[in-house]
Homo-oligomer: A and B are copies of this chain.
Amino acid sequence: MAKGILIVVSAPAGCGKDTILEQALKADPNLYYSVSATSRAMRPGETDGVSYYFKTRDEFKRMIAEGELLEYTEYVGNYYGTPKKAVNDMLEAGKDVILKIEIEGAANVKKMFPGCTMVFILPPSFAELERRLHKRGTETDEVIKQRLETARKELQYAENYDYLITNAALEDAVDDFLAVVRAEKCRRENREGVVGDLLAE
């Protein structure tokens, strides 16, 4: 069986990446979502082991020390990281693994897996992004202002990504994402040996 591909997804807060990935995972049973670990507080509606593995700072530091993380980073005062074992096991089993990580972590993964597929999700506009953050209703105006500023900074790293998907209409963005995964599996680099096998016939 061919190994799975590794897809790194980043997006500023409020761009809808969670919803896009949720729908994509429903549509493509070969996708596996790698749940990240974090030391940040659980938000309303989140579930431990689904949204994130929620850890204390001390627990997180132990995972770092014992080499259990593929990458980790500190972001807005909290740790975020990717547990290593599940990712490797799933790739070996032929699953296509999604890592949802912020730009710094994404850059670290790219160094370790140069062949990974990097996807950045864009808002249709900053006006719409602000509207969505307000609608979410989980952050204060001050935090929203900070998130918009962070979004502007993050967008400057979009040029490090292979694909830019604009989330204007959710369904289109989901279809774009699914197409990226399907197309990447057809890329020559991800079909190693296929021509050699044919010619050896």
Question: Measuring CB to CB, which residues of chain A are less than 8 angstroms from any residue of chain B?
Answer: 122-123, 125-127, 152, 155-156, 158-159, 161-166, 175-176, 178-180, 182-184, 186-188, 191, 194-195, 198-199, 201
In the complex, are the beta carbons of B164 and A194 less than 8 A apart?
Answer: yes
Q: Could you name 15 residue pairs across A and B whose Cβ atoms are closer than 8 Å?
A: A122-B194, A122-B198, A123-B198, A125-B201, A126-B198, A155-B198, A159-B195, A161-B188, A162-B187, A163-B188, A175-B182, A176-B182, A176-B183, A180-B183, A182-B183
Most chain B beta-carbon neighbours within 10 Å: one of A126, A164, A183, A186: A183
In the complex, are the beta carbons of B194 and A166 less than 8 A apart?
Answer: yes
In the complex, are the beta carbons of A195 and B127 less than 8 A apart?
Answer: no
In the complex, are the beta carbons of A159 and B180 less than 8 A apart?
Answer: no
Q: Which of B158, B187, B201 contacts A195 (CB 8 A)?
A: B158
Chain B residues with Cβ under 8 A from A126's Cβ?
198, 201
CA A121 to CA B138, docked complex, whole Å: 49
Smallest CB separation, A36 vs chain B (Å): 24
In the complex, are the beta carbons of A199 and B122 less than 8 A apart?
Answer: no
Most chain B beta-carbon neighbours within 10 Å: one of A127, A164, A184, A194: A164
In the complex, are the beta carbons of B199 and A127 less than 8 A apart?
Answer: no
In the complex, are the beta carbons of B156 and A199 less than 8 A apart?
Answer: yes
Report, nearest first, the 7 A-B pairs whose CB atoms are least far apart: A183-B183, A179-B182, A179-B179, A180-B183, A163-B186, A179-B183, A158-B195
Chain B residues with Cβ under 8 A from A152's Cβ?
199
Chain B residues with Cβ under 8 A from A191's Cβ?
164
In the complex, are the beta carbons of B195 and A186 less than 8 A apart?
Answer: no
Q: Which of B155, B158, B161, B188 contacts A159 (CB 8 A)?
A: B188
